Amino acid sequence: MEKKARFTIIDAALIPLLGAGCLWLSLRAGEGLGYRWNWQAIPGYLFSFDGQAGGFVPNLIMQGFLTTLKLSFWAMIPATLLGLVMALFRTSPRLFRRMVGRSYVELVRNLPPLVLVFIFYYFISDRILASLGLEGWVRGLPPGIQGVVGAVYAPPEQFSLFTTALLALALYEGAYIAEIIRAGILSVGKGQREAALALGLSRRSAVRHVIFPQALPRILPPLAGQLVSTIKDSAIVSVISIQELTFQGMEVMSATYLTFEIWITVAALYFILTFSLSFLIGRFEAALSRKGA
């Protein structure tokens, strides 16, 4: 029987010591660099009062935080679909499909994500999406619909650029998702597939009704963990001026010179988001374990 973690006296002593150490380091950094802390300015960059709205609205840093959420959410959808297709290709008995799946995974996983983002920026955004006229189409929508599109996806002036970043991030994450799904499929015993085929099921039906239902509980926890990685990897698209959390942090820092305050705030927001998701994923895995038991 698994033992539950307990909060001990040692833990109670280490927590204030750790806090005191962090405080001492911050004070030493301020004294050594001659840096003057100005935390009072940070809340104004999180939320600002809007008289027309009649309340507080997200300001630059919080706007970047919301953009990071939207980018990560929308990128995971095509990344999961692409990863599923490539995982099935990699486990296919047909040589051509296995070659396509392996080529995709090996190529993407061995390329720096920054290079991938720049390739998509200069080719997809400047050539393909510009020729499709997506931004013009969005600008032609009624104002109410434009507001909805801006709230759930991206504003019209950022539509093509946001889509480019989304596709680049989805392509990169899809390679890792493909390996997660492939490992889950291969973890199911070979006898299960052979038994399904012996009963007269086609290979497609065997994968759909026999293999995949058994692999799914093993796939979901690492797949959920990949979502956390997607949130952290989304910071790379700041190099093409996507106004997500890292980009907005750089903009505010360059305007105010509040270097430590801004980046500590940005780090805290990333930590809150990823830690919350990790906690939910842990609860989800525990629920799966209890169900399996």
Rg for the chain (alpha carbons), in Å? Answer: 24
Say how far residue 172 (Cα) sits from the centre of its chain: 11
**41: in domain:** no
Least confident of 21-35, 71-85, 90-104, 134-148: 21-35
Distance CA 249, CA 62 (A): 10
List pLDDT tens digits, range 202-213.
777 777 778 878
Give the model's confidence band at 7: pLDDT under 50 very low, under 70 low, under 90 confident, else very high: low
Does 24 have pLDDT greater than 80?
Answer: no
Q: Which residues contact 120 (CB under 8 A, 6 or more apart)?
A: 164, 165, 167, 168, 171
**222: in domain:** yes
Does 70 have pLDDT greater than 90?
Answer: yes
- Record the tokens describing residue 206, joined without a space: 């065997």
Query: For residue 180, with 0-12 CB atoms within 10 Å meaning exposed, 13-18 middle and 19 or more buried, which class applies?
Result: buried
Q: What is the pLDDT of residue 5?
A: 58
Q: What is the pLDDT of residue 14?
A: 73
Give the model's confidence band at 1: pLDDT under 50 very low, under 70 low, under 90 confident, else very high: very low
Compute the Cα dihedral for 92, 97, 102, 105 and give only its sign.
negative
Domain hosting residue 122, numbered range: 63-242
Q: What is the pLDDT of residue 29?
A: 62
- Find residue 50's DSSP bridge partners: 55
**189: in domain:** yes
> Domain total for the chain?
1
**256: in domain:** no
Give the model's confidence band at 33: pLDDT under 50 very low, under 70 low, under 90 confident, else very high: low
Domain CATH for 216: 1.10.3720.10
Give the model's confidence band at 166: pLDDT under 50 very low, under 70 low, under 90 confident, else very high: very high
List pLDDT tens digits, range 211-221.
878 888 888 88
DSSP state of 293: -
List pLDDT tens digits, range 236-280.
999 888 889 999 999 999 888 888 889 989 999 999 988 888 888
Distance CA 13, CA 67 (A): 39
DSSP state of 239: G
3-class secondary structure per residue, 248-260:
HHHHHHHHHCCHH
**168: in domain:** yes
Q: What is the pLDDT of residue 208?
A: 78
**251: in domain:** no
Alpha-carbon distances, residue 140 vs 144, 149, 154 (angstroms): 11, 12, 15
Collapsing DSSP to helix, strand or coil, 92 comes out as coil
**257: in domain:** no
- Find residue 19's DSSP bridge partners: none
| Percentage of the chain exceeding pLDDT 90 | 28
- Find residue 49's DSSP bridge partners: 56
Q: What is the pLDDT of residue 16?
A: 81
| Percentage of the chain exceeding pLDDT 70 | 91
Does 3 have pLDDT greater than 60?
Answer: no
**177: in domain:** yes
Q: Within the chain, where are the H helices?
A: 9-33, 42-46, 60-90, 95-109, 113-119, 130-132, 134-139, 143-152, 159-187, 190-198, 203-206, 212-233, 245-256, 259-292
- Record the tokens describing residue 185, joined without a space: 């499929």
Give the model's confidence band at 289: pLDDT under 50 very low, under 70 low, under 90 confident, else very high: confident
